[in-house]
Structure 1
Amino acid sequence: MDKQGFTTGIVHGDRITGTEHGGVRQSIHTSVQYGFERVEDLIGVFQGTKKGGFNYARQGTPTTAALERKITSLEQGVGSICFSTGMAAITATFLTLLRAGDHLVSSKFVFGNTNSIFGTLRGLGIEVTTVDACDADNVKNAIKPTTRMVFVETVANPGTQVPDLQRIGEICAERGIVYFVDNTITSPALFRPKAVGASLVINSLTKTIAGHGAALGGAVTDTGLFDWSAYPNIADEYRRAPSKEQGLTQIRKKGLRDMGGALSSEQAHSIAMGAETLALRVQKSSDNALALARFLEKHEAVGRVFYPGLESHPQYAIAQRLFKGASWLLAFELRNADRMIDVVNALQLPIKATGLGDTRTLIIPVAPTIFFEAGAETRKAMGISDGMLRLSAGIEDTEDLIADFDQALKLAVA
């Protein structure tokens, strides 16, 4: 794919790597069991000595394997594992690579369910420290001898904070720490975390990559930059694999096989088709988000707008340097928060729904919904006010979206 354009590589990837019967894309394989003529081959698949074979769908099918190849190519990694959801992927990665007594440093600006998982990790004896990762010194100062991993999101959901991705990557490389980056908001169409030294990359395939709100899925990709032979938490039985494969091997065996968060072939096929228009959708939705952000920033009813594509954003320079666009995610606050419900109900085009990265624009009040369980103290630390609205821009005509917000915001003008 490196020798071709981004979209060309996705659209023709299946056909070039080979499909059954000349199909232009991979077929949907629904078999749960996979048989062999020779029992030696079945044994080889179980023991990992026979490459490319399948034994049971919980560990993968030809259809999910094709999607994994596509994600690996998109992120320019050495391998990927697909899961039933993004949360299944991130949870499996944490639980299979961290042990009791280990220390995880994370940005404090993270997705609500990721923040919830930190509570689970703490209950298992894994120490978690959250810091403002927009300043890499905060990450550096939080690192301990027991620190095994640093985790950040490229653009935080919902406040759109952008960590100092490059410097954090340098710190992790200096210390031999796994650098785990959530690329969901930007996606490989706008940014590849490998460029800043990421060891592992997570994508909630449900969102930007699938893009139509019609399929759940997640993936973790190994960039090939981390030396797993030096990582203390790899089990002896997975040390037999080449060092670059040991991390993913453990995640697949302990996280996918044992925990059971398998992606179905039907969902994998849907995600793979959605990925073909990834760059086109991201360009349009990013353009819409920027146009809306500029409109909202100038509107008298709006107090603050959070969008990395605005020059007023604290991490605007980082976003401009690293990303090909600022993505579809933005948030804003009304000057008169008491009118928030009225304004949202008056909007005709944005769908009042959770979820992100859809072709349709989605809007949701953050504090009483997706971050309600986090509590007021956590919300305050994350910069989430009671009046914050999160917007996932779709691919509608820009003029229609702006006109709709213009009429709805009149209800909040004093």
Structure 2
Amino acid sequence: MKKLKLASRLVHADRKINKPQHGAVHEATNNSVLFEFDDVADLEAVFQGEKPGHVYSRSSSNSAVALQNILSELEGGVGAATFSTGMAAISALMFSLLKAGDHIVVSTYLFGNTRSFFDSLARFAIDISYVDVSDVSNVKSALNENTKMVFSETIANPGTQVADLSAIGDLCESQNLLFVLDNTMTPSVMLDAASVKANMLTTSLTKYIAGHGNVLGGVVVDMGNFDWTTFENILEVYKSADPAVWGMTQIRKKGLRDMGATLAPQSAHLVSIGLETLQMRMQKTCENGLAVAEFLSKQAQVQKVFYPGLAEHPQHERAAHLFNDQFGGILSFELQSNIDMRAFLNHLNTIITATHLGDTRTLILPVASTIFFENGAKQREEMGISDTLVRMSIGIEDAEDLIEDLKLAFERV
């Protein structure tokens, strides 16, 4: 039978991949914390990783595994682990795979909370070099003999810098470094992560994957293209199985089981429901994003617009190539210095002032005084975040309504 195209696979993934019982089209939500074994030998075998199964829902459950199966297959990976939030997924991966004395290269344009986490990670004697990942030469210059990993987002939030993904992937492959990519802004309907040689993906399921602002979640996906036998931080106890799963096993054991940021069964179900409409939501979001960005670029009250879909964006051609002429739903813009930012935002009616992104509704907020406030003025300057920067997360409304809302707010200030 001919393989279904992506939109159809998203709609039918649960019933096709997981094959729920009793003819259900969705995997049943299993809220049991514990699991019974008729034979103690089976319990021991599952505990020791000799056979699949569930022993305690903090580590795994039917609901979580069903979602993991879908996300892994859609990304073309070999395994996945879900977490209660996207930040939990990033934290679990880093604490599971790194140790004191390691060095990692990280994008200087990280989202505020992610940057805050890496600053905390540095307190555990992990050396971090922050570089401009839009040019692979900066990454290459930062490497040293202790470097274990390169971590980057695809499109930066909120500055929209696009990482030099293909070149970074080639560099990591040549140096045998783990390339960890946060593709929250560009899920599988936009980016083929395997094509840029990403080894592991981290994604906030809360955002575009679930899409409706009603559930938290995160995931780590192993793309199956890294030789874990060469990674010295794998613990001996996790080397008994197939080497292809060593990394994911250690993340599940040390990151999920030990740290305990488990995705609740009902949350897994809500994420899988949202996933069904991912492609159509992203298509509409990208269309709206370009329309709004073009409108903003012509407004006298706006000093500068940051959106990869605009021809003047520094990485416009790269984004068009990487993301199949889709440019995502995040844009930001700097207001002229004589515009009262708070008054402008308060005059918006359709667009919601809120701290979130990837929602069906269009959201907006001032950046420096909210999500990047803790980073301080010096870090914000390094990351290109001015005091007048406003971020928008574009939703699926009619673009004309969004533009009209912005137009009226500009008129009132």
Taking structure 2 as the reference length, the TM-score comes to 0.98
| Residue in 1 that maps onto 2:152 | 152
- Paired residue secondary structure (1:190): coil
- The aligned residue for residue 187 of structure 1 is 187
* Cross-structure match for 1:410: 411
Cα shift readout 1:337-382 (whole Å, capped 9, x = no counterpart)? 5411111111111111001100000101000000000000000000
Tell me which moved more, 216-225 or 33-42: 33-42
The question of 1:292 aligning with 2:285 is answered no
Give 3-state SS (helix, strand or coil) of 1:74's partner.
helix
Cα drift, residue 304 of structure 1: 0.4
What one-letter code is carried by the residue in structure 1 that aligns with 2:235? A
Aligned to 1:149, what secondary structure does the other structure show?
A: strand
Question: Which AA in structure 1 matches 2:36?
Answer: G
Give CA deviations for 1:310-337 in whole Å, capped at 9, x if unaligned: 1010000110111021111000011135
Counterpart for residue 281 of structure 2: 281
Pairing of 1:60-71 with structure 2 (within 5 A): 60-71=60-71
Task: Provide the residue aligned with 2:264 in structure 1.
Answer: 264
State the one-letter code of the partner of 2:309: G
How many angstroms apart in 1 are the aligned matches of 2:329 and 2:381? 24
Alpha-carbon distance in 1 for matches of 2:79, 2:270: 20
Is it true that 1:31 corresponds to 2:29 in the alignment? no
Amino acid at match of 2:240: R
> 2: distance between equivalents of 1:11 and 1:292?
29
Distance 2:190 2:13 in 1: 19
Residue in structure 1 matched with residue 114 of structure 2 by the alignment: 114
Aligned to 1:249: 249
Q: How far apart in 1 are the matches of 2:22 and 2:316?
A: 49
Larger deviation, residues 70-79 vs 2-11: 2-11
Contact 1:332 1:389 (8 Å CA) reproduced: yes
How many residue pairs are counted as aligned between the two chains?
411
- Deviation by residue 1:64-89 (Cα, 9 ceiling, x = unmatched): 10100111012110010000000000
CA distance in 2, matches of 1:44, 1:337: 68
Partner of 2:98: 98
Amino acid at match of 1:81: A
The separation in 2 between residues aligned to 1:379 and 1:221, in whole angstroms, is 30
Indicate if the aligned counterparts of 1:337 and 1:387 stay in contact, CA closer than 8 A. no
Q: Deviations over 1:105-148 (max 9, x none)?
A: 01100111110111111110000000001110000000000000
* More deviation, 15-24/316-325: 15-24
Counterpart of 1:387 in structure 2 is 388
- Aligned equivalents of 1:33, 1:248: Cα separation in 2: 23
For 1:256 and 1:7, locate their aligned partners in 2 and report how far apart those are by CA, in whole Å.
31
In structure 2, what is the Cα distance between the partners aligned to 1:320 and 1:10? 23
Q: Which residue of 1 aligns with 2:43?
A: 42
CA contact (8 A) 1:367 1:384 kept: yes
- Give the Cα separation in 1 of the matches to 2:260 and 2:25: 30
Any conservation in 2 of the 1:339–1:411 contact (CA below 8 Å)? no
After superposition, residues 7-406 of structure 1 pair within 5 angstroms as 7-17=7-17, 18-51=19-52, 53-324=53-324, 325-336=326-337, 338-406=339-407
Tell me the SS of whatever aligns to 1:374.
helix
Q: Partners in 2 of 1:282 and 1:337 — Cα distance?
A: 35
Deviation at 1:11, TM superposition (A): 1.5
CA distance in 2, matches of 1:246, 1:24: 32
1:380 counterpart letter in structure 2: E
Alpha-carbon deviation of 1:9? 1.0
CA contact (8 A) 1:206 1:213 kept: yes
Secondary structure of 2:166's aligned partner: helix
Residue range with higher mean Cα deviation, 8-17 or 327-336: 8-17
Q: Is the 8 A contact 2:331 2:393 kept in 1?
A: yes
SS in 1 for 2:130: strand
Give the CA deviation at 1:2: 9.2
Alignment partners' CA distance in 2, 1:314 and 1:237 = 47
C-alpha contact 2:301 2:339 (8 A) present in aligned 1: no
Tell me, in whole angstroms, the C-alpha distance in 1 between the residues paired with 2:216 and 2:323. Answer: 25
Structure 2 CA distance, aligned partners of 1:39 and 1:158? 52
